[in-house]
Structure 1
Amino acid sequence: MSGDIQPDSHANGHLNGSSERPAPLTVAGVAQRLGVAASTLRTWDRRYGLGPSAHVAGSHRKYSPDDVARLERMRELTLQGVAPADAARAAVAFDPAHPEASPAPSQLVRERAPVERLLVDPLSLAAAAVEPDPRRVKRMVEQEVEDRGVVRAWTGVAGPALEMLAQREKTDLPGVEPESVLRAAFLTAVRDAAVRDDAAHRRADLVLLCADESQRLQAHVVGGGLAEVGVQARVLRAEVVQDPSQVLDVVDRRRAGVLAVFGAVPGAEDLVTAASERGDVAIFLVGDAAPSLWLPHVHRVRTLSAAVEEMAAAISTHV
């Protein structure tokens, strides 16, 4: 019927003849609508700038109808086989109010040399580190972090590769230490992700990560994973961790909402007890080697992925 109001075929949420706009959507809501993982949306935000723009008081940023329209354009183009980088440029340039005037992907394609995709698995990565081929190790690690995110790249590839290296016969050439080559490459990838994402999602509050020497790399991995979901993190130096008063001073100066302890950090029990008594910071004990303490505001997590998820949730409620 001519008098019926028909939904707009585009995803900007407008109704023809109506000025009302739907409420902004969360990451989970948009992920369900598009049929993609929430981690994919965070990657598109981090890598291409296709993120949420609506600001709601007392909440995280949410996706406006125009944001969703651009994401649906991105999804449509990638399903058609358009390269993600080219699809993203077309999606960023897409105008939901005037879709017919938006440039086609072919108009935005940049000339660039093809990038070789590398086969990445723990054995191949360990072999490249033993060779040693630092440039190849770096490329393999960067590719995995880009494809899978910091935590999954660590747990699925880099961590197992380091375990392989630890079990091999140690007869290295002078000046060659494969474990150091791999650690350096992974730390560089984590740093690049954290610096990029800190700039895109800068918050006043953050997570402090305390680790003993055997767990420091895992603490950096969690810090990188937190950066990918928009939460700042800092890894405390070992000498600071041994003095609970210094750590709590950093908590105050940084306005930290979460304090995490990895492994058997010297002085960890005193630190956790003192932080628990304060009552203004959530405390996480990460891994089996962390102290067995059952106190108010203290949480235990076993895996790095769970640590990222639960710390991010805790920081979102921190005032």
Structure 2
Amino acid sequence: MNTFKVSLQETSNDTIIKFEINQIITKHQSYEFNNIDEAKPSPLAQQLFYLPFVKKVYISWNFIALERYSIVEWKDVQDEVLEQIEAYLNDGGVVIEESQVTKKKPVTVYAESTPNPAVIKFVANKKLVVSLFEFTSIDEAKESPLATELFHFPFVKSVFIDENYVSITKYDIAEWQDITMELREFIRNYIETGKDIVNANASQTTEKTEAQSANNFESLDDTSKEIINILDEYVKPAVASDGGNIQFISYEADTKKVHVMLQGACSGCPSSTYTLKSGIENMLKEMLPGKVEMVEAING
């Protein structure tokens, strides 16, 4: 059984606090409740309203936000609330009773071109996953029911899923103008049914990987940490908008060489070499003078 982990996240409004969860809990829907009567579709929200200081409950894909009355400060009660939410979820408590929900937001998906002519990004108006996943074959896709079904299309070469989009790499046998509409409608219908995008154990595996990465970060040398921070702040948002991802692999101090991995639309992209040399490599040379001379990439 996959364990729920809850963490605190402050907001710009000191009366509201977020409890982030390591799994999707609402089948990609969002709900707002102003009192215990409105919270009938959510046993969890009803339980939270028994706390006298809870004014409003907002439940979204992987977090719960609570607004408080002024009778308490969050610092005095937040740890107990976190423990209550975590225990409720791990005891199998129901977050939303779907039969009680009458209004559902329509699912929209649009296709967006990427710098890689073999890849198109299908963007949804809902969050799909908590962490990114890449599958290059139907065997790898066992963790993802959506990716498994996509591989039944003979022209699908690989599937990359992150936050609210799916990037698909095609084989040359098909042209995008012939298959884009079919894929877009398939993905939209799949999301609309509320079926799992990835299995729970896939999320758990990713969480372990992320935790391991965080632990590894602390053991890295200072230059490697600086490189990771630069990639996270300046590079990842740009490549994510193109349907891809970049991951730091290693740094060689003696040769001043940085190794990275390209995933999704960045993998095999004709412009990726130019982007690495003229973009990322020059940026690292400029921001870390004398420490970086070359950036080399492998495709994910």
Larger RCO, structures 1/2 (Cα 8 Å, 6+ apart):
2
Q: Do these two structures clear the TM 0.5 threshold for a shared fold by scoring above it?
A: no
In the superposition, the TM-score normalised over structure 1's length comes to 0.24
Q: Which has the higher helix share?
A: 1
In the superposition, the TM-score normalised over structure 2's length comes to 0.25
Which of these two proteins has the greater Rg computed from alpha carbons?
Answer: 1
